[in-house]
A and B are shown apart, each in its own frame.
Chain A
């Protein structure tokens, strides 16, 4: 009777002790030395694993900082305080970078930009782009199938309900740059967060063609270039492009006859009838 009771206790106890002993010995002899700073730096990094720094996730970047003396300021989402702490830990000077946010350089959603045909394929931008641009007349504009919104690790991009236009929430954006790579039409650009006046068009066609495709496309009238004396805006073919050296003047919004130039961020995004009303 007693053996019946004792035996399982002894067996289980013995096996447990043996396993514990084995693990304890193994942990002692098979210990791999790791710089304790790696763990600390990993803890200070945001942990979003966005890959924006060029390394495979936060832990890998932390390892590179400690072991390969990688610059400490590559992490865009990193808070300023954490950056200082990491730099102090590594004994290097903290160099801050201006916060950059993603910007979709197109304002011609389904309301303002025409579609010539129906597209019934996969609801995904790359596929739509291959099939003659999903029937959209503009060969440069936002396709509206949300590849950028899906890849965003912090859900900072949403597709506006009426226009199917991607809109970046600048406050949420962590500047990882994944959306820039995801857009098959290369519409997304990283711009300084302090700039609020943007030229929201990527159409390089001649004005007459642009006008046929979209109500708010740049027609290369160059009024904005003249208004700012060529400072901050230059022409690339038939498209006015801001070079983001200094913030553009808000007056340019009224200069542009096509309403391509928009002010964003400081106040609510421009609410034209039927489009962007929820922005």
Chain B
């Protein structure tokens, strides 16, 4: 139990996907202008990363390793994740229209995100079991969501501020992201 808790904590806080591994920077800057969009994106990322880890782990263990073609990892993972997300989207549209509406455009957007491939590859690299992989994927995505929501909150405040002209917009967003990353460095020794 402690092991799983440690894994989760490490994925959310210590090795945060965005602020420590620098994966998924694109949506981090792109959809962090407003809190509601950031929440929608976080939801979609949690959804895709958790299911994506499960699927890719199964593909790696039952297909790629027995056939000695694990060097196809990157290619196959992208293919499988993309197809899987499309499938899930179809299912959602049919069975849970409200959920489909709230995740909306974000689902297809993140299929080819580096965070998704990152978690799949990391699962293999860290030699995690099935449930560990799923938990790691969920934790990583939750960390991503946490960072995104915090960042969106800060940016909403900054929008109302009056920074010097050279700092306005993206410049200030990047500085803020750097400071947020520094703040998360404080968790470095939380989990050994």
Interface, chain A (partner B; CB < 8 A): 7-8, 11-12, 15-16, 19-20, 22-23, 26-27, 30-32, 122-124, 127
Contacts and interface: CB of A to CB of B under 8 A. Distances in A.
Contacts of B80: 15, 19
Nearest to A28: B90
Interface range on chain B: under 10, 10 to 19, 20 to 34, or 35 or more? 20 to 34
B87 A8 contact: no
Interface of B: 59, 63-64, 67-69, 71-72, 75-76, 79-80, 83-84, 86-87, 90-91, 93-94, 97, 160-162
B79 A16 contact: yes
Given A30-B94, A32-B93, A123-B162, A11 B63 contact: yes
A16 B79 CA distance: 7
A12 B76 contact: yes
Interface of A is mostly: helix
SS class, residues of chain B in contact with chain A: helix
A22 B89 CA distance: 13
A32 B95 CA distance: 10
A165 to B, nearest CB: 20
Contacts of B94: 30-32
A19 B81 CA distance: 10
- 6 smallest beta-carbon distances between A and B, as pairs: A19-B83, A30-B94, A30-B90, A26-B90, A123-B162, A8-B69
Contacts of A31: 94
Given A19-B79, A19-B83, A32-B94, A11 B162 contact: no
Contact of A122 (B63, B86, B93, B160): B160
